[in-house]
Structure 1
Amino acid sequence: MKKIYSFGLAAVALLVLATGCGQKADASKENGAQGKEEVTVKLGIIGADTDVWDNVQARLKDEGINLEYVKFTEYSQPNTALASGDIDLNSFQHQFFLDNFNAEHGTDLVSIGNTVNAPLGIYSEKVKDVSEVKEGDKVAIPNDVTNGGRALNLLESAGLIKVDPAKKQAPTVSDVTENKLNIEIVELEASQTARALQDVTISVINSGMAVDAGFIPTEDAIFLEPVDEASRPYVNIIVARAEDKDNEAYQKVVTAYQNDETIKVIEETSKGSSIPAWEAFGSK
């Protein structure tokens, strides 16, 4: 009987000990849950260069936000993914591009914060100056409405063509009113404009695509878009669905981006080619 009684006490002691350990483990788990609960935010981007966003991503960790990249290759993709709910935010476009997309697709996507102004540039492997462009030379431009129109206006600024002023920011090739050199304008998907340099005399390339191709816009472009008040529609933005524009986590992403640390990385990675837009044009 004494042996049975002793065994019973030992069993009870082991049960109490095990219960105590279990309670400690559960308490530890609760304490972890009571800390900052990590929220994943899926960000749609285009291009391989994520240096600026990597800096933002690291700082967002302290806010309990896991910023996850979803990479796309064409400008037609990130807004569709955002509208369908496949991603939470995107950052690849300017306001004019977004306005045009909403109008064409009946979507309700909105800007929640400015990022950078990235001037459009003219690049070439064949000439050193736009004045060297000759009769009949080929010129590549992006084929989407907004960047195509912007490219045509840039070619006008460079003195190569004239476009119908009534078309303002959205001229098309058919709106070219003067083309003294009879240059051949080739419209390509924006991601192809840098790759086309071997086949054309000059190419109008978006800043992000140029950087991905190894160019430093302020050094390598033979003609660069001026930055002034007329640049406002071309300020790059962070975009969300309208119903999510006040989402706390998404607003933290904007705040983390519009930071002095981000400015340093922008200056380093773009070699001064991109301008922190929230300083020049406001936060949104």
Structure 2
Amino acid sequence: MKKWTKVTTGIVALLSVVTLAACGAKKSGADKDGVRTYVVGVASDQQKEIWTQLGKDLKKDNIKIDVKLFSGYTEENPALADGSLDLNSFQHNAWLNNYNRDNKKDLTPIGYTIISPFGLYSDKIKNPKDLKDGDVVGIPDDPANGGRSLQALDALHVIKLKDNAPDSPSVKDIVSYNTKIKIKPIQADQLVAALPDLTAAFINTNFVTDQLHTTPKKSALYIDTDHMDKVNEIYKNVIVVRKEDKDKADFKKIVKAYQTPEIAEIIKKTNDFPAWDTSK
């Protein structure tokens, strides 16, 4: 009985090794035609369209792009960290820095993609100057986009931030209120639903296009990228990988394929702007 148990255990162990090896080869190796597949996580239809086009452009390099669309911002980094994704393309440096700090991770940016306009929206007022004492302004509850909202309110002279406020300021960095508004942090993907109960709200552009079915140019009371000198560079979006993969040759090819005049034109047809130096 013990002898058969040992034999069976050995067979199971051997099969496990073979199975794991096969799975590993399928994920990170090339298929029989030498095509290498990489899974990228995105959070908007626009980015899905761009990465789908990149997949076509990279066929000549035997690179296949498998695009996974997420509905929010909370899953992409954990999925990259645990190996479910090979890359992601949804966040700016401010968001990435906060994620790495809070989760003790070292996910690494390898190339700029877009800078997305960030706007103030309202069903109740027509101009930011119409804000009055007691009005409630919704902002995303994450440090990165919440901080960007506060920088915009500072640029609008609604509040005054400390001179030495960090790149992603918080409410505690407000020195004074020129208009005594109430600032209400709300989960980013819930701000559109909450808008009827707010005086105004800062909303990420992908939720504006996907949920409000409009654009910043058509509907925003204020767009921070119309005043680029007020927008910190940490709000440029990036392609992100695990630190150990940052120098991978295929990923350098992917960045190069993204930062082309053709992709820049696709971006310009939407609400965003290329975040890399397009003059080169």
User: How high is the TM-score relative to the length of structure 2?
Assistant: 0.81
The answer to whether the 8 Å contact 2:114/2:276 transfers is yes
Task: Name the CA shift for 1:229/1:57 in 2 (closer, same or farther; >3 Å).
Answer: farther
The aligned residue for residue 37 of structure 2 is 40
**Alignment partner, residue 24 of structure 1:** none
Aligned 1:10-159 pairs, distance under 5 A: 37-49=34-46, 50-159=48-157
Q: CA deviation at 1:180?
A: 4.0
Q: Which amino acid aligns with 1:121?
A: G
Aligned residue in 2 for 1:12: none
Question: Partners of 1:141 and 1:171 in 2: how far apart?
Answer: 13
Larger mean Cα displacement after TM superposition, 187-196 or 152-161: 187-196
Structure 1 residue runs of 5 or longer lacking an equivalent are 1-32
Unpaired runs of 5+ residues, structure 2, are 1-29
Q: CA deviation at 1:142?
A: 0.7
Contact 1:89 1:238 in 2 (8 A): yes
The runs of 4+ residues in structure 1 deviating greater than 6 Å are none
1:26-56: CA deviation from partner (whole Å, max 9, x where unpaired) = xxxxxxx999522211111113332322322
Q: Deviations over 1:39-86 (max 9, x none)?
A: 211111113332322322222233322211222233222111111111
What residue is the counterpart of 1:265 in the other structure? Answer: 266
Aligned partners of 2:155 and 2:230 also within 8 Å: no
Distance in 2 (alpha carbons) for counterparts of 1:170 and 1:229: 13
* Aligned counterpart, 1:222: 221
Letter of the 1:183 counterpart: I
Deviates most, 228-237 or 145-154: 228-237
Q: Among all aligned residue pairs of Structure 1 and Structure 2, give the percentage whose two residues are the same amino acid.
A: 35
From the superposition, tell whether residues 244 and 163 of structure 1 become closer, same or farther in structure 2 (CA, over 3 Å): same
> Quick check: which has more Rg, 1 or 2?
1
Instruction: Please give the root-mean-square deviation of Cα atoms over the aligned residues, in Å.
Output: 2.3
Q: How does 1:237-252 map to 2 (within 5 A)?
A: 237-252=238-253
Look up the equivalent residue of 2:142 and give its one-letter code: D
The 1-side partners of 2:128 and 2:275 are apart by: 28
Separation in 2 of the partners of 1:260 and 1:280?
Answer: 7
Q: Say how many residue pairs are matched.
A: 247
Alpha-carbon contact 1:114-1:236 (below 8 Å) kept: yes
Q: Which residue of 1 aligns with 2:10?
A: none
Q: Distance in 1 between matches of 2:198 and 2:230?
A: 31
- 1:16 corresponds in structure 2 to none
**What are the superposed Cα offsets for residues 129-155 of structure 1, whole Å, 9 maximum, x if unpaired?**
101122211111011111111111111
- What is the deviation of 1:230? 4.9
Indicate how the Cα distance of structure 1 residues 146 and 106 shifts in structure 2: closer, same or farther if over 3 A, else same: same
Question: Does the aligned pair in 1 maintain the 2:122–2:221 contact within 8 Å?
Answer: yes
Q: Which amino acid aligns with 2:268?
A: E
Check conservation: 2:51, 2:67, Cα contact below 8 A: no
CA–CA separation in structure 2 for the residues paired with 1:260 and 1:281 = 10
Which one of 149, 154, 168 corresponds to residue 170 of structure 1?
Answer: 168
